[in-house]
Structures are given as structure tokens and as C-alpha cells.
Amino acid sequence: MASMQDRIKFYRTAPFDPRFTQTNQARHCFQHYMDYHRCNTIMSEKSKDTTDCDYFKLCYKSLCPSEWMERFDNWKDEGIFPGKL
């Protein structure tokens, strides 16, 4: 199995995820955004390197429109993000 560093190095687009089989990838985008921020929080709390979390960032950046990412960031900063980060 490829290491996370290899996945990041050879990343092209978000891979198929059987949880999100429909054409509408909004939920897929949202889930990767949350996974990235959860990963950063957990790794930072354990004082570990957060570079493995970059895989989730690459995924959500390839799936999410830039307007959504800005909105998500604003919600997160304002403390009104609808998901548990």
C-alpha cells in the first residue's frame, strides 16, 4: 500500500469514494474539508507532524468550488461551521 507521502506526491484528483456515488459531489467536498481540519487538530494536539493531513486538503481543493472554501473558512472563523471539527 502506498504511503501518505506517496499519495500526496502523485496526487491528481480526489479518488473514488463509495460513500459518495452520485454525480453531486457537494457532500464529498464537505467531508474532505472536515477531515482535513479534524486531522490537523488531532495531529497538533499530539504534537505530531501534520503533513499527512495535506492529502485531505488536496482532495477538498479539487472537489470544492473556491466560493465554498471561502464560506467554510468564514464559518469556521466565526464559530458557526455546521460540522464538528
Q: In this predicted structure, which of 2-6, 22-26, 40-44 has the lowest mean pLDDT?
A: 2-6
Q: Quick count: other Cβ atoms within 10 Å of Cβ 10?
A: 8
Q: Where are the domains of the chain?
A: 24-78
pTM higher than 0.85: no
26 with 83: CB under 8 angstroms? no
How much is the average pLDDT of 46-60?
93
Separation of CA 53 from chain center: 8
63 with 32: CB under 8 angstroms? yes
How much is the average pLDDT of 35-56?
94
Q: What pLDDT is recorded for position 23?
A: 72
Q: Options 3.40.50.300, 1.10.10.140, 2.60.40.420, 2.130.10.10; which CATH number does 24-78 get?
A: 1.10.10.140
